Amino acid sequence: MMLRLVLLPWFCLAVLATDAQTRPANSGLYAIWYRDKYELLDVPYIVGGQIVVQWHDVAPAADRYDFSSIGQELKKLRTLGKTTTIQINGNLKPAWLFAQVPHYPEKLSVQVRDKAGTLMYWHPRHREAYTNMLKAFAGFLAQSPDRGALIGIRLNFNAIGTEHFPVPKDAQNLAKWIVPPGAQLGPRWSPDEVAAYEKAVVDTFVEHLAPHAKIFVRNNVNAKIAEQYRSLFETEKLGWFHTSSEAEPRSRGLERQYQRFFDDCRSGKTVGYAEPWASAWGDHGKTDHRSCSPPQWNYWRTLIDLHCGVSFLALYANDLAVAVTGRYHVNQNHYDEAKDRRGYQQEFEAAFRFAERYVGYHASPETSPGAWVAFRENRVALATNVPSVQDRQLSSFTGDYNFLMERLPDKTVGVHNIGPDNQRQGAWARVLAAGDNLELRLDVRFAASCKGGKVRVTYLDQPGDMAGPFALTAEGARLTVTPKGTGRWQTAELTLPAGPLSVGPSGAHVKIVAGPAPVYLHMVEVARN
């Protein structure tokens, strides 16, 4: 590649100038886990939903399959003009499989819902049963008249529950497994057995289902498997997905998943689908710790997904309902806008509207409605869902979240939990010291194609002597922002002249200059007309 850059610079420049990418079809916000809240699909910024069935339901008997529930839901969504993913989960395995495969008489994961216990997923018969079901599902999809409503199939391994693989050391003792009459015990659990099972499942999805639909592969998949199918990821035949989106990665180990989005999706090589780990309050069966308020967690979770290049951004129905009805009632967490009056409803709505505006445009600078940087700095994940501080030390996602614009090196410092907690912005921010500058550089293709618009800066309007005026400049235009002392996050707006945005001597397109007082900054957004 370096040789080509040296020998053919004109070719590379031509590609940059002409090879504009379009926003992936059906990019947008997807409602999930809505069940009794089907009306949420009518929300204007929701483009699709979710089809979920259990392996138990589609394989009622050995070698007999029934995908009619999927077909009915697919037709319903297509009639509504919505698109969807399909997922066949493994929380409930076929009951007949317990007569053919050894099982452990306890649930080895919270995801296991079979009363009899946990099936030996690495057993050859389990693998055969699962891959046979997938092949039958491929045949069903091939003949479905409603397949056009499908954006992709989520690749579930359905090993332990839907998502889990590890077997506790005590349960690795084969003597503790129950072997049904006529069945073989099978091998001892090991990482090699896990890898073999993973490969068999991925191979089946690729060979049999990929011809009929995009496959969203879990982004924590074995690295060897990811490399095996690298060409399919780089040609968008395979996409990535995870169910782990949070305001920031909860551990260094989890950063790998976000990094796959960042490397392959943000670049435009393929597409990504992201589901949150839990609700904005932390609810997903149990309740996780939250390091900031629900409006802030909800908002920053969407920002990191946009930063990573996600095109299909899933929203828990319970979070979406806050924007629609103003109410949240799950486990011990309760909120009612009519009674509590903290403004959560408008904050959730604003977060979703912002995400709707940008989702899918990360690799389309010529057509993106704007560019932005959300200011942040953090090196240890703040939520304590991983107890070890050492494990929570982050290495990659420590700075700003950005979208077609970046902050140039400066002296700003990061802060967290700043400003009112009933506003969505203050989970993180950066502080520009008195008299200092903050400079931002746009993607060159966005800047060249921007024919006027607005520059918006969101800042904490500090009260009294803590505040002072600051200047926002871009393309020869200047705005002096004078704080009013409200103590809340406010947004000021600078109108840009009609024409491409030129870069200044320092390489920046936008500049903020602090006056006699520090400035607490959340975001700068350049929105085209």
Taking the model in full, what pTM does it have? 0.94
Taking a C-beta distance cutoff of 8 angstroms, is the pair 293, 421 a contact? yes
For the domain covering 404-528, report its CATH number.
2.60.120.260
Count of CB atoms situated within 10 Å of the CB of 6: 7
Listed by start position, the domains of the chain span 24-213, 234-368, 404-528
Residue 295: exposed, middle, or buried by beta-carbon count in 10 A (0-12, 13-18, 19+)? Answer: buried
Q: Round to whole Å and give the CA distance between 234 and 232.
A: 5
Helix (H, G, I), strand (E, B) or coil at 114: coil
Q: Please tell me the distance from the alpha carbon of residue 198 to that of residue 289, in angstroms, as a whole number.
A: 31
Contact predicate 414/400, CB 8 Å: no
Q: What is the pLDDT along the chain (529 residues), one digit of tens a residue?
A: 333 333 222 223 223 333 568 999 999 999 999 987 889 999 999 999 999 999 999 999 999 999 999 999 999 999 999 999 999 999 999 999 999 999 999 999 999 999 999 999 999 999 999 999 999 999 999 999 999 999 999 999 999 999 999 999 999 999 999 999 999 999 999 999 999 999 999 999 999 999 999 999 999 999 999 999 999 999 889 999 999 999 999 999 999 999 999 999 999 999 999 999 999 999 998 999 999 999 999 999 999 999 999 999 999 999 999 999 999 999 999 999 999 999 999 999 999 999 999 999 999 999 999 999 999 999 999 999 999 999 999 999 999 999 999 999 999 999 999 999 999 999 999 999 999 999 999 999 999 999 999 999 999 999 887 889 999 999 889 999 999 999 999 999 999 999 899 999 999 999 999 999 999 999 999 999 9
Nearest to 374 by CA among 305, 464, 472, 451: 305
**Is the separation of the CB atoms in 215 and 238 below 8 Å?**
yes
Tokens representing residue 382 in the block: 């703040």
Q: At what angle do helices 191-204 and 124-142 cross, to 10 degrees?
A: 20
Instruction: Report whether 467 contacts 434 (CB < 8 A).
Output: no
The 8-class DSSP code of residue 297 comes to H
Phi/psi for 298 (5° steps) reads -60, -45
Phi-psi label, residue 28: left if phi above 0, alpha if psi -120 to 50, beta otherwise: left
Q: Is the dihedral of CA 485, 491, 493, 499 positive or negative?
A: positive
Q: Element (H or E) spanning 260, and its range?
A: helix 252-260
CB atoms within 10 A of CB 412: 23
